[in-house]
Amino acid sequence: MVLLTALAGVACHTEGVEEVRNSTQAAAIVLNIEGGTLGIATRAESIADSGAESHVNHLDIMIFEDAADDADKRLFYHQRTATAAANGSVRLGVDVDDIVIGAKYWVYVVANSTLEVSTFANIANVENLFDLEEQLFNYHLTASGLQNTPSHFLMDGCAYMGDSEPSTASAIVIAQEKITDTIELNVMLRRAAAKVVVKLLASEAIEFSNTIEGATPGYYVRNAPYTTRVMADGAVRQCEELETTHETMSPYYKWITDSEGNITSVEITLYILSHTWQTNDSFSYATNLLVDIPALYNSELNGARIVKPHPNNYYQVPMSRDFMFERNHYYEVTANIHAPGAEDFSEPVIIDDLKYSVHPWTEHTIDIGGEVGPEYLKVNLDELKMFNTDTDSTSLLFSSSSPVTIKVVDGYYIDKFGIKNTVNASTHNMRGTTESGAISGNIAVHSDQPTNNTVRYFTLVITNETGQEERVLVEQYPLVYIVNILGHYSYREDFIGNDTKPTTYEYSGGNISTLALNEFRNGKWSYTYSNNVGRGFWSSKVATEDYDENSSNSYKGRSRIQYYSWSDTRRVIGSDSDNPGNARMYHIRITATSGEYSLGVPRMVSDGVQSYTDDGDDNAQLVSPSFMTASRLGKVDIQNYGNGLSSDERCYAMARDHCANYVEVDREGNIYDNWRLPTASELGIIIQLQGSKSQSADAIDYLLDADYYMSASGLVLNPGRSSTSPARESMWAIRCIRDAY
C-alpha cells in the first residue's frame, strides 16, 4: 500500500490534457519528438497539402521501471501534453529528483490516441500497455475532414538517448549522476497504419470521365479492420473483426490529367490498420477496394467506332499483397483498366492484373517542420522490353516525392561471338523523359531501332531530388534479332550400341563416337558405328577451350573444337576439327512475313521412327518465326557425291537422318535435340542475314560457307559460294536447325 501510494504521488494522470509549463529551472528531462509535428495543426484541410500525416494533437508519455518481465515493469510516470517548444521538444513534468541514479527505465510515447487519459494513467505495467487496443472506425479516411472519421494518425515510439536510434528498443539510464542540467531523450514516432495508394490507369479503349450525366463516382473499402494495438510489438495481428465502410463520394478521388486536360488515371489514397488475414478464404475476407469510375468505352460495330458512356462502372481491387499490411509501410497498387466495369454494385469486375510495391513509410522525412509525406521513388517495372519500336511512352510509370531526372547508362549489345560491345547513347538517341517537374506519370523511352539484328540493352537511372534511385533495364528488339548460345559438345541419339543410352562426352555408354555409311536400301541408310576418334562420315565433337574477349581478334569469342571418343571408361581427345572454330548456336527470331517467304512452323512428317521436315514445295516457302542453327559441333562437309552418295536420294536420306539424330549440349548442360533439315527459305534467310564473308555481320557469323546446303526439298545453291562447279563436283554441307519457342 505504501508503494502504491508513493507511485500514485509521482504519476501525473490529470483528466484531459495537461499543459506542462516550460520552467526556467535548469534541471529537467526534455523529450525531442521526431516523425511528427506537435501542436501545429488540430484539423486537416487536405492531406496532400497540409502535412496532416505527421500532425500530432497530443502525446501520452509513459516512463516504466525496468525489470526482467513486462509484467514487472511498473508505471513510474505518465503525462499527456499538447504543447511543445518551437523545436518540437517537450519538457517533462517529472521531478528529476525522483529519477534513481543508474537505474534503467523504459520511456514509451503514444501520439493521437482516442483513449481517455485515465486509460494510460492507470496502466499498471508494460504488459498492460502492449495489450491495449483502440477502435478506430473509418480509419481509411483519417484526416479527410469527414464526419465520424479520425482527425489524426495514431503513432507510437520508444525513447532513446544519443544521436541515433538503436535497431532494437531498449531500456535507458536517464541519470548517471544527480541531474543538474537538461537531460535529452529522443523518440521516433511511427504510425499504426499503412498508407495505400491505388492508381488505376486508363488504357486506349477506356476514357475516364467525371462529366457523364447520372454518374456518381466514388469508392468504399470492404473488410477494413478497425481495431489495432496501440503499441507496435513487432507482430502483424490477425484481424478478427470486419468493417464494411460507407461509400465515399468523388471529391476524394484524385483525377490525374495530361497536358490537354484528359483524365489518364484515378488515384485513391487510403490508410489501413496493420493486420493480416489467415483464413481459409483469404480472397473473400482480405481488404478490397470497390470503386466506381465513370468512363467512355471505345468499341467497334460493323467497322464503325462507337463510344459508349458507362456512368456506373464498378471494379474491385484486392489490395492486400499476401493479405498483410504492416505498420508504417507505404503500399502502392497500380492497375491498367482495359474494359468496362460492372453496372451492378454487387458484382464488380475484379482487377487481378495488379502491380504492387512496398516501402517503409519513411520516418525521418516527416520532421518537426511538418513537411508533407514520405520520401519515396517507385517505378512500376525493373525491366522494359521494346519490340520493333523506337519509342514506348506508356509502359513505364513512376511515382516520386519530388521531381526526377533520368539518364541512360550502360548501353551495349552482345555480338555474334558473345562479346559485349558498347553503344553510345547520343549516337542512337537513347533517352528517358517525363514531364518537367512531374512527381508521377509516364516515362517515355526512346532509342533508334537497332539495325544490326542484335538486341540492344541499356539502363535508365531515375533519381529524385532526395537522391533516391531506381534502375530500369531496357531491352530493345528489332524486327529480326539473333542471340547466340555457346555449345559444349555434340553426339547422336543413335550412338547406343549395347547400352540403353547414347554415348556422350559425359557418359561412356556403348563407346560409340563415329559412324560410317554402310548400305543404302529401300530409301534408308544403315551405318557402321565405332569409337575411332575423328574418323568415318561423322564424329562427336567437343569445344575443349573457349577464347575470351582478351584473346587476339582472330580467336576472340571462338573455341577450339576437337573430336572425342571413349576407350572403355577412358575418354580420349583426338585431333582438331576446327581451331579456332565457332561453337555457337544462333537463335533467329523473325516477326514479319516478306514477299520471299511466309512465316509459319514448317510441316513435319514421320516414318514411324523419326520426324522429318516435309519436302513439299509449299513447305519450302515457310520460315519458322523462331529457330536455332546448330554450331560447328555438328558440321558435316561432303566434298562431292562420292563416298556412296551417288544420287540426290542418297544425299537427302543421309542428311535427313543426321539432323533427326543430332544432339548438342551447351555450357550450362542444356540439351538441344529435335533438329531437322531447314526449308529452302530458311537457308535463304540465314544466307541473307550472314551477308558476305567480308561484311562481318554483328549478330551472326558467316555460317554457310559451302557451295551447296541440303534443305528438306534438296540442295540449295549458296550465292556467295567460292566454286562455280555443279553440285556433284562441289563442296556441300548440312546445317541442321530446330524450332525454338
pTM for this prediction: 0.55
Query: What is the per-residue pLDDT across 603-618, written as a single tens digit (0 to 9) for each?
Result: 999 988 889 999 999 9
CB 200 within 8 A of CB 337: yes
CB 474 within 8 A of CB 382: no
- pLDDT category of residue 18 using cuts at 50, 70 and 90: very low
**Residue 82: its pLDDT value, please?**
74
Q: Give the least confident one: 351-365, 457-471, 481-495.
A: 351-365
Pairing, β 559-567 against β 598-599: unpaired
Q: What percent of the chain shows pLDDT beyond 90?
A: 47
Closest CA to 542 of 490, 580, 494, 582: 490
**Residue 362: its pLDDT value, please?**
59
Q: How far is CA 516 from the centre of its chain?
A: 52
CB neighbours of 680 closer than 8 A, spacing ≥ 6?
620, 621, 711, 712, 713, 714, 716
In the predicted model, what is the mean pLDDT of the chain?
83
Mean pLDDT is highest, among 239-243, 463-467, 583-587, 643-647, for 583-587
Considering only residues 348 and 585, tell me which one the structure prediction assigns the higher pLDDT.
585
CB 198 within 8 A of CB 185: no
pLDDT, average across residues 552-557: 87
pLDDT, average across residues 352-369: 60
**Residue 364: its pLDDT value, please?**
34
Identify the CATH assignment for 377-474 out of 3.40.50, 3.90.930, 1.10.10, 2.60.40.
Answer: 2.60.40
- What ranges do the domains of the chain cover? 2-190, 193-360, 377-474, 483-585, 593-739
Over 60: is that where the pLDDT of 247 sits?
Answer: no
For cell 539495325, the residue is 451
How many residues does this entry show for the chain? 741
Tally of CB atoms within 10 A around 595? 5
- Between vectors from CA 287 to CA 285 and to CA 293, what angle results, nearest 5°? 120
Over 50: is that where the pLDDT of 449 sits?
Answer: yes
User: Which set of grid coordinates corresponds to residue 448?
Assistant: 533508334
Considering only residues 34 and 617, tell me which one the structure prediction assigns the higher pLDDT.
617
Considering only residues 520 and 48, tell me which one the structure prediction assigns the higher pLDDT.
520
- What are phi and psi for residue 562, nearest 5 degrees? -130, 160
Q: What is the CATH number of domain 2-190?
A: 2.60.40.2580
pLDDT, average across residues 655-671: 95
CB 433 within 8 A of CB 444: yes
Domains 193-360 and 377-474 share a fold: yes
**Residue 390: its pLDDT value, please?**
94
CB neighbours of 252 closer than 8 A, spacing ≥ 6?
141, 144, 219, 268
**Residue 372: its pLDDT value, please?**
36
Residue 361 to residue 188: CA distance in whole angstroms: 13
Strand, helix or coil at 449? coil
**Residue 15: its pLDDT value, please?**
38
**Residue 694: its pLDDT value, please?**
78
**Residue 356: its pLDDT value, please?**
80
pLDDT, average across residues 376-384: 84
Hey, what CATH topology would domain 193-360 get? Immunoglobulin-like (2.60.40)
**Residue 425: its pLDDT value, please?**
95
**Residue 568: its pLDDT value, please?**
82
Over 80: is that where the pLDDT of 255 sits?
Answer: yes
Considering only residues 646 and 469, tell me which one the structure prediction assigns the higher pLDDT.
469
**How many contiguous H segments (helices) and E segments (strands) does the chain have?**
8, 57
Q: Give the least confident one: 89-103, 170-184, 215-229, 571-585.
A: 215-229
**Residue 682: its pLDDT value, please?**
96
Over 50: is that where the pLDDT of 433 sits?
Answer: yes
